[in-house]
Structure 1
Amino acid sequence: MVFWEGYVSDETMGTFAPIVVYWLYAGFYQILPPLDQYRLHTRKEEEKKNLVPLGSVVKGVVIQQLVQIVAAHLLFLYLQLTSTTAASEVVIQPAVPLQIVQIILAMFVMDTWQYFVHRYMHQNKFLYRHVHSQHHRLVVPQAIGALYNHPLEGLLLDTVGGAISFLASGMTARTGVIFFCFATVKTVDDHCGLWLPGNIFHLFFANNSAYHDIHHQLPGTKYNYSQPFFPLWDKLLGTHMPYVLVKRAEGGYEAKLMKD
């Protein structure tokens, strides 16, 4: 039993919980003190290099999330219409070990989808110029701009990728709540622009805020496409760009590129 049972359906939670989590977690980073001693870029760099104001970033994220709501509603409606289980029947939730396996499988499916679509958006000049370049207007990544994308990219990369991961793993809507909220937190953290001590994502994932920061730097735009979990496909297909973290004299860190 979960805390929302009896109040809202698992499908409703799966649709709206990741959005609430996004704004709570991104908002947490937004209201933190400057934390210059942990930043991957100075505030001066952020003001100088980023090509879009905060208001436009928020607007872009909201638009993507509206598309996400519609897509999630259609997905769950389709599953209900094609299900052999009566609407009045209680969905039997799988055992916890199986749910863990489903989540891990969904992580690899999402990584695979996002790697190849993301990479193609860089290789196709039309798509990069008219679609993916919107995300790269944030040369210095920001947590609140983790989902700042062109609506078409948001649909293809995140929404469709999420639906495929959900379907391929065979998870229930309730397990999907956990998976999508976790994926949301991970994506926001990868764009936070900070290297905080004790960050659990840095301990368990080589694909982290510094790894993705490399991709946002001009020399690294053809590398480190993998997101949001593992750098597997970058390593297998020769697009992995390792980095070294160097402390800046004025405080903070800099992720410097190095060749394999």
Structure 2
Amino acid sequence: MVFWEGYLSDESMGTFAPIAVYWIYAGMYQLLPPLDSYRLHTRKEEEQRNLVSMSSVVKGVLLQQLVQASVAELLFLATTKADSAGAPEQPSVLVQFMQILVAMLVMDTWQYFVHRYMHQNQFLYRHVHSQHHRLVVPYAIGALYNHPLEGLLLDTFGGAISFLITGMTARTAVIFFCFAVIKTVDDHCGLCLPGNVFHLFFQNNTAYHDIHHQLQGTKYNYSQPFFLVWDKIFGTHMAYNLVKRPEGGYEARPAKD
């Protein structure tokens, strides 16, 4: 039994919970004090180097989430109608864990190749993917700031394919989609906080993705949001050294391996 049972369907939670979690988690980062001792870029860099205002970023994220919610509703509707026996029985915790792990690998695979192609195809980079790179200095609220077409192809379709391939229930999808959202937000937060569990358990983290947003790293570190598998296999992995800046904070310096 889950806390929303009797109030909302699993399908509705699968659609709207990731959106709520995005704004709660990203908003938490936004409300934190400056924390200059843990920032990967100074606040001055963020103001001077970013090419888009926060209001435009918020509008862009809301547009992507509108499309995301529409596709999710259609996806859940289609899979529910396909199951003539009614709501599927919830599998064991072990099965759900394995489904989520496989879904993570599927999402990583989809996003790596789509993301990489958007960099290699000059038309797609110039007219689509470059919108995300207007945030030269990423921050949490901008994690899903993308061109609408990129949001659909990279994130929304990536989530849908992961859901369909693993055969997870809508209830399991709530857990997976919310976790993926939290991880994506954290990868763009721009902070290396001590004790951050994502930095402890994932090499693909805030500093790793920050390298990709730097000029010398745009052809590397395409993997997102979980593992480094495809970067390692295809030679697009760029290691980094995390060093302290004299004026405070950290800097992720590329060190191609």
Q: What is the TM-score with the length of structure 2 in the denominator?
A: 0.99
Matched, 1:123 2:120: yes
Secondary structure of the residue aligned to 1:242 is strand
- Which blocks of at least 5 consecutive residues in structure 2 are unaligned? none
Matched, 1:84 2:84: yes
Secondary structure of the residue aligned to 1:92 is coil
Q: 2:138 is matched with which residue?
A: 141
**Cα shift at 1:82:** 1.7
Q: 1:26 is matched with which residue?
A: 26
Q: 1:156 is matched with which residue?
A: 153
In the alignment, the residues of structure 1 paired with residue 76 and residue 30 of structure 2 have an alpha-carbon distance, to the nearest angstrom, of 32
**Cα shift at 1:91:** 2.8
**Cα shift at 1:84:** 2.4
Match among 118, 129, 133 for residue 132 of structure 1: 129
In the alignment, the residues of structure 2 paired with residue 21 and residue 41 of structure 1 have an alpha-carbon distance, to the nearest angstrom, of 25
In the alignment, the residues of structure 2 paired with residue 101 and residue 81 of structure 1 have an alpha-carbon distance, to the nearest angstrom, of 25
In the alignment, the residues of structure 2 paired with residue 79 and residue 233 of structure 1 have an alpha-carbon distance, to the nearest angstrom, of 30
Q: 1:194 is matched with which residue?
A: 191
Matched, 1:176 2:184: no
CA deviation map 1:63-99 (0-9, x unaligned) = 000000100011011112222223xxx4310000000
Secondary structure of the residue aligned to 1:33 is coil
CA deviation map 1:23-62 (0-9, x unaligned) = 0000000011110000000111111100000000000000
Q: 2:45 is matched with which residue?
A: 45
**Cα shift at 1:246:** 0.6
Matched, 1:97 2:115: no
Q: 2:182 is matched with which residue?
A: 185
Amino acid at match of 1:224: N
In the alignment, the residues of structure 1 paired with residue 111 and residue 105 of structure 2 have an alpha-carbon distance, to the nearest angstrom, of 10
Q: 2:236 is matched with which residue?
A: 239
**Deviating runs (4+, > 4 A) in structure 1?**
none
Query: Quick one: percent identity of the two aligned structures?
Result: 76
Q: 2:64 is matched with which residue?
A: 64
In the alignment, the residues of structure 2 paired with residue 91 and residue 211 of structure 1 have an alpha-carbon distance, to the nearest angstrom, of 39
Question: What is the RMSD computed on CA atoms of the aligned residues?
Answer: 0.6
In the alignment, the residues of structure 1 paired with residue 139 and residue 97 of structure 2 have an alpha-carbon distance, to the nearest angstrom, of 30
In the alignment, the residues of structure 1 paired with residue 113 and residue 133 of structure 2 have an alpha-carbon distance, to the nearest angstrom, of 17
In the alignment, the residues of structure 2 paired with residue 173 and residue 182 of structure 1 have an alpha-carbon distance, to the nearest angstrom, of 14
Q: 1:166 is matched with which residue?
A: 163
Aligned residues: 257
Q: What is the TM-score with the length of structure 1 in the denominator?
A: 0.98
In the alignment, the residues of structure 2 paired with residue 182 and residue 26 of structure 1 have an alpha-carbon distance, to the nearest angstrom, of 13
**Cα shift at 1:13:** 0.1
